[in-house]
Amino acid sequence: MLINLETTKGVEEVRKKLEESAKARGFGVLSVHEVTKILESKGYPIDYPCVIVEVCQPSSASEVLSKNPFISTAMPCRIAVFEKEGKTVLSTIAPTDMVRMYNEPELEDLAKKVEEQIKEIMEEAVR
């Protein structure tokens, strides 16, 4: 399941607020991928702005990876920020669905907590 939010604010403004909100909640911003610029530089442009912000909460990441190192293939959490039909969209894969994909029911409560925090970060970014 995807968690999606929309706003009329611009991609760059939302991206900055997203990074600030993540840091304020103890998440690290590990990387920001300027997808539109990267694709354009490779000769494959898209016609809308798109960035991907990778965030991680160290204590949760440590707990998850201690349980199952294969989950690292889905980490860190990625939040896409892009323009669609005149609106800016924030989208991410729900952490609860990720732990189900790896068949780790013991991590469900932790995933719910992280998911709630990511939703709050995203909601703050679109305000």
Q: Is 26 left (phi over 0), alpha (psi -120 to 50) or beta?
A: left
**Minimal CA–CA distance to 15: which of 48, 39, 49?**
49
The confidence score (pLDDT) of residue 74 equals 93
Beta strands (DSSP E) in the chain are: 2-7, 28-33, 50-56, 77-84, 87-93
Mean pLDDT by 10 residues, the chain (127 residues): 97 97 96 98 97 97 96 95 97 95 95 97 97
The confidence score (pLDDT) of residue 15 equals 97
Q: Indicate the domain borders of the chain.
A: 2-120
The confidence score (pLDDT) of residue 68 equals 95
The confidence score (pLDDT) of residue 93 equals 96
CATH of 2-120, one of 3.30.2270.10, 3.40.50.12240, 3.40.50.880, 3.30.310.70: 3.30.310.70
